[in-house]
Amino acid sequence: MSIRVVLVDDHALVRAGLRALVEKLQGVEVVGEASDGREALKVVETTTPDIVLMDVSMRGLGGIEATSRVAHVSPATRVIVVSMHTDPQSVLAAIEAGAAGYMSKDASLGELDVAIRSVVRGGTFLSPTISRHVLDDYRRRVANGDDATPAEVQPGATERALLARLTPRQREILQLLAEGASSRKMARMLEVSIKTIETHRAQLMQRLAIHDVAGLVRFAIRAGLVRADEP
Query: Tell me: the pLDDT tens digits for 134-167?
Result: 655 556 666 766 554 443 434 455 777 788 778 8
pLDDT value of residue 48 = 96
The total number of structural domains that make up the chain: 2
* pLDDT tens digits for range 29-40: 999 999 999 999
What mean pLDDT, rounded, does the chain reach? Answer: 83
Give residue 8's pLDDT band: very low, low, confident or very high (50, 70, 90): very high
Residues 132 and 43 in one domain: yes
Between the ranges 37-41, 177-181, 190-194, where is the mean pLDDT highest? 37-41
Higher pLDDT among residues 153 and 28, named by residue: 28
In this structure, what CATH number is given to the domain that contains residue 174?
Answer: 1.10.10.10
In this structure, of 5-14, 35-44, 203-212, the range with the lowest mean pLDDT score is 203-212
Say whether both 203 and 130 belong to one domain: no
* Residue 212: pLDDT band with limits 50, 70, 90: confident
Q: Kindly state whether residues 116 and 58 are assigned to the same domain.
A: yes
- Residues 177, 82 share a domain: no
Exposure string of 179-199, with b = 16+ CB inside 10 Å and e = fewer, is: bebebeebbeebeeeeebbee
pLDDT higher for 110 or 226? 110
User: CB neighbours of 170 closer than 8 A, spacing ≥ 6?
Assistant: 200, 203, 204, 207
Strand order in the sheet with 78-83: 28-34, 3-8, 51-54, 78-83, 101-104, 125-126
- Is pLDDT at 20 greater than 60 in this prediction? yes
Show which of 143, 175, 198 is a domain's final residue. Answer: 143
For residues 22 and 104, membership in a common domain is answered with yes
Domain co-membership, 27 together with 109: yes
Domain region containing 208: 166-222
Same domain for 94 and 174? no
Which of 183, 179, 162 is CA-nearest to residue 227? 179
Which residues face 42 on adjacent strands? none
**pLDDT tens string 67-126:** 989 989 999 999 999 988 777 777 878 888 899 999 988 888 998 999 999 999 998 888
Specify whether 61 is located in the same domain as 16. yes
The Cα 65–Cα 155 span in angstroms is 22
Out of 42-46, 174-178, 192-196, pick the least confident: 174-178
Summarize the confidence of residues 177-192 as an average pLDDT: 86
- Whether 128 is covered by a domain: the verdict is yes
- Whole-number percent of the chain with pLDDT over 70: 85
Whether 149 is covered by a domain: the verdict is no
Quick one: 46 and 133 in the same domain?
A: yes
Is 97 inside a domain boundary?
Answer: yes
